[in-house]
Structure 1
Amino acid sequence: MARDDLAYPRRQPDQAGEDVRTRNWARNATLGSAGSVRAPRTEDELRELLATTQGGVRVIGSRMSPGRMLSLAAQGDTLLDLSHLRGLVHLGEDRATFAAATTLGEIYTCLSSRGRMLPSSPGVIAHQTLAGALATGTHGQGLGQSCIADSALSVRMVLADGSVAEYEADHPWFGAVKLGLGLLGVVTQVTLRTVPSPVYSCQKAVTSAATLETDLLTWNRDNALSKAWWFPDQDQVHVWTAQEASETEVERYRAGGSVLIEEQVTSAVLNSTVDRTLEHMRGDTKILDEQGKPFQTVNRFKDFSDVTGDVYQVFCRGIATPQINVEIGIPLASAGRVVAAIKRWHAETRPHMHYPVILRATGASDSWLSPSYGQETCFFGFVVYYAEDGSLAPEGVDFLRAVERVLAEEGGRPHWGKYFDEALYDWSALYPRWAAFRGVRAALDPHHRFDNAFTSELFAPTVHPSRDLAGARA
């Protein structure tokens, strides 16, 4: 099988009568055979299942990750559906405990209704389960915070032998446990830190990309939260910058029932840029329904206006649609150099782009396998949409492969829950605690019951296991 097929798989049509849980959400991978899914209703049932069975186990969550992260290693292994383990378990003054399969959207609604939020800002999609979002390093934007896993205060999980372990923030392995790629145990509950939820005023603008190398740092240094979309073909950047709202703005927001305020004054400056971007998408994908989700994701940049609302109303507004999404984190200090490199590459190749380059920055994470571990990070995101027949246009695949190489050469770390070519990365060089994580994995799952083919290759031994464990204790 060609490497393109492994990294960017084709979508497959739905099969009549199939258990959709045996395929990932994008329908581009089969996770296990019919009958491989088990759905324990309680933690005790989960414990009994693990204690009385053998074979590999992978948790499917919301199935939004690439198939290689979720799929089983062998016939007879088990896919775990934890959808019964969801909801608020306990609410404290500055913390909240949720069951692992609670979706981020449910968590955000619960906290917002109480005037609280997580200290980490949200990503754009809220369909993910809590455990899945932690395990893959889901993040938002803003240098004052990092990935959602860094909001965790404790993690409760069932280990491979059916025993229960609970780890708190002061445990030496907590940096591994809270972002563990599903390799250490089956997470059943997470306690999250919460903080008061401010109201944000978000200004939206369009600028030239001529000074993006320096503007990117300025936007993130000068604002509480910032996000940008770069349209290289038109040399334009659409930027959102958010600060806590003024007292007058807060009063207006509260008087309106705490519903997102979208200002009546709109700007059409991006409309022609959006139309040209859609021409590329239309030509590559042959999508006929121009009211469908792929077109909606780009059309929403038209006629934009400033908004006022809480962090979830302002930033968590994604439209979930199957796509190939590549996101690579670069040290923020190197972001300007990477922007310049992409500009040169774009000028030489003039690739087909279905969506602008997404630019988000976060502060340093203390989760060992977070792409932002130990450093302020700028994430560069790239999207290519599927054609009507489930294929990917060769131009789109060429674009993704080329741009990922550019970022990998700059020391990029890919988002675990998105698509990437693992052959481009030297993991132990990129992650200072890589060997230590392997040591925790050896201690908690010595027989690698939670592995699959992809993770087994990812963590193939390079040093003696005892050295890994020594690093984990450090």
Structure 2
Amino acid sequence: MNRDTLLYPLRNTSHTEADASLLNWAQNSVVGQRQQLHQPQNEAALQQLLRDSHGKVRVLGSRLSPGRMLCVQPDDVPLDLSALRGVLAQDAASVTFAAGTPMQEVYDTLTGMDRMLASAPGVIAIQTLAGAMATGTHGQGLQQSSLADEALRIRMVLADGSVREFVRGEADFPAAQVSLGSLGIVTAVTLRTGPFRLFSCHKFAASADTLEQDLPAWNTQHAMSKAWWFVDDNLMHVWNADEASAEDTQAWYANQREVIEHGDNADSSLNDTIDQTLAHMHRDTQIHGKGGKQFRTVTRFRDFTDISGDIYQLFCRGIAVPQINVEIGVPLAQTPQIIRKIKAWYAENKPHMHYPIILRCTGASEAWLSPSHQQPTCFFGFVVYYADDGSLSQEGLHFLSEVEKLLAAEGGRPHWGKYYDPQRYAWREIYPQWDAFRAVREQLDPHHRFSNDYVTALFD
């Protein structure tokens, strides 16, 4: 198997739920066998399982991450914690959820309580709470950071079956916030909450000529900002969101708490660019006609309008489609010069663009292994969708590889739950608390029961 196939594996299109093997969500890696899977019904059963077993342990969660993060060997103990879900406790300022609760359920529950998290949601909400935290899942907006930064307490079953509760303010709490599943098995998380608020999102198209100045300005001036960079056409599609007016709030409630669309005239200024992007995607995936979900991720930009709604309605709008997704976070202060370098590189090489570059910025994170640790960060996201036969556009993958090389050279930190080339990163240099995290891991899991090939390559 060549290196590109290891980094960007092809998709198994013939696998069915009746097969003995377990694949990750994208169906590009075998992560274990169904007969190996354990499904403890509560924390006590999980504790007993750890006491009675001896193999390495891995929680599979929603299996959204690349297969190398989840790989399970024949003697290992893979876990399905889907029974551990729902609200466990609440008070005026926080809600405690079982760790296997899907993020969509977390968001729906909080909305029903007229509460919300300070952190903006990730794009897709089918992942579990513990999995989303462990990989550093984030949204957009400099006034917040990752989901893990909203945790007040993290309850974890350790390798010997004992329970440890990490509390915000303790010296090793930042290790537990983003842990890659390598410290123990999270069973419950207490999240701080705030009053429910609504937001209005202004959408517009703009030239990328002044993106170096515009991107920091959008993020400084607005509560949340997200942008898509159509490099071929030198155009931006931008969403800037701020707290909704009293009038928009009243209209939202009158509309049965559904999203409000503003204006009778939709903006069609991006339609030609959208058609060109769709043509590239159809060629790359060799899917004819309108195609499937992956094409909806682009067509939603056609004839766009401003909208108002809650934070989850506005930003948790991802369409779950198997893909190779690379996302690299770079220091916000260096982002203008990095944009200039990308422009110069593009002008020289004219690479094939499969999908627009996605730009999201967050505030600094407390978590030691968060890509935004100690620094406001701009995340550059890149996507290549699978063809129906499980193949990938080689031109699209070449673009991913080259742009990752550029961002890694600028001190970029990859999103743990997405694809990246580990050879491009000197972990100790880009993570100031790398050795501190390793020390906590050695203390809590001295026999490395929560390790696998992926974790071993990182820390050992």
Q: Shorter chain as normaliser: what TM range?
A: over 0.9
User: What is the aligned partner in structure 2 of residue 70 from structure 1?
Assistant: 70
- More off after superposition, 180-189 vs 84-93: 84-93
User: What is the aligned partner in structure 2 of residue 362 from structure 1?
Assistant: 362
Equivalent position amino acid for 1:374 in 2: Q
Q: How many residues align?
A: 459
User: What is the aligned partner in structure 2 of residue 90 from structure 1?
Assistant: 89
Equivalent position amino acid for 2:281 in 1: M
Tell me, yes or no, if structure 1 residue 184 matches structure 2 residue 183.
yes
Query: How far 1:19 moved relative to its partner?
Result: 5.3
Contact 2:138 2:145 (8 Å CA) reproduced: yes
The aligned runs of 1:364-443 (5 Å cut-off) are 364-443=364-443
User: What is the aligned partner in structure 2 of residue 472 from structure 1?
Assistant: none
User: What is the aligned partner in structure 2 of residue 99 from structure 1?
Assistant: 98
Tell me, yes or no, if structure 1 residue 248 matches structure 2 residue 235.
no
Query: How far 1:356 moved relative to its partner?
Result: 0.8
Contact 2:355 2:383 (8 Å CA) reproduced: yes
Cα distance per residue 1:37-61 (max 9 Å; x no partner): 1111111111111001101111011
Secondary structure, counterpart of 1:396 in structure 2: helix
Equivalent position amino acid for 2:454 in 1: F
Residues in 1 aligned to 2:424 and 2:27: alpha-carbon distance in whole angstroms: 25
Contact 2:20 2:33 (8 Å CA) reproduced: no
The aligned runs of 1:7-26 (5 Å cut-off) are 7-16=7-16, 18=18, 22-26=22-26
Query: How far 1:95 moved relative to its partner?
Result: 0.2
Q: Give the percent of matched residue pairs that are identical in Structure 1 and Structure 2.
A: 55
Equivalent position amino acid for 1:25 in 2: W
The aligned runs of 1:75-474 (5 Å cut-off) are 75-263=74-262, 264-288=264-288, 290-460=290-460
Query: How far 1:365 moved relative to its partner?
Result: 0.2
Cα distance per residue 1:240-290 (max 9 Å; x no partner): 111111222222222222211012331111111011011111111102352
Equivalent position amino acid for 2:329 in 1: G
Secondary structure, counterpart of 1:408 in structure 2: helix
Residues in 2 aligned to 1:430 and 1:283: alpha-carbon distance in whole angstroms: 38
Residues in 1 aligned to 2:318 and 2:371: alpha-carbon distance in whole angstroms: 21
Residues in 2 aligned to 1:321 and 1:290: alpha-carbon distance in whole angstroms: 15
What is the root-mean-square deviation in Å for CA atoms of aligned residues? 1.2
Secondary structure, counterpart of 2:209 in structure 1: helix
Residues in 2 aligned to 1:17 and 1:335: alpha-carbon distance in whole angstroms: 44
Cα distance per residue 1:301-343 (max 9 Å; x no partner): 1010000011111111110100000000000001111111111
Equivalent position amino acid for 1:422 in 2: P
Residues in 2 aligned to 1:455 and 1:168: alpha-carbon distance in whole angstroms: 24
Equivalent position amino acid for 1:372 in 2: S
Secondary structure, counterpart of 1:206 in structure 2: strand
Query: How far 1:347 moved relative to its partner?
Result: 1.6
Contact 2:20 2:34 (8 Å CA) reproduced: no
Query: How far 1:16 moved relative to its partner?
Result: 4.3
Residues in 1 aligned to 2:452 and 2:289: alpha-carbon distance in whole angstroms: 37
Residues in 1 aligned to 2:428 and 2:346: alpha-carbon distance in whole angstroms: 30
- More off after superposition, 277-286 vs 444-453: 277-286
Cα distance per residue 1:138-185 (max 9 Å; x no partner): 000000000000000001111111111111102111000121000000
**Structure 1: which 5+ runs fail to align?**
461-474
Contact 2:21 2:33 (8 Å CA) reproduced: no
Secondary structure, counterpart of 1:239 in structure 2: strand
Query: How far 1:349 moved relative to its partner?
Result: 2.1
Contact 1:280 1:354 (8 Å CA) reproduced: yes
Contact 1:281 1:353 (8 Å CA) reproduced: no
Contact 1:329 1:371 (8 Å CA) reproduced: yes
Equivalent position amino acid for 2:172 in 1: W
Contact 1:144 1:362 (8 Å CA) reproduced: yes
Contact 1:22 1:37 (8 Å CA) reproduced: no
TM-score (norm 1): 0.95
Residues in 2 aligned to 1:196 and 1:110: alpha-carbon distance in whole angstroms: 13
Change (3 A) 1:114 1:19: farther
TM-score (norm 2): 0.98
Residues in 2 aligned to 1:115 and 1:14: alpha-carbon distance in whole angstroms: 44
Change (3 A) 1:348 1:259: same
Secondary structure, counterpart of 2:155 in structure 1: strand
Contact 2:209 2:234 (8 Å CA) reproduced: yes
**Structure 2: which 5+ runs fail to align?**
none
Secondary structure, counterpart of 1:35 in structure 2: helix
Change (3 A) 1:248 1:104: same
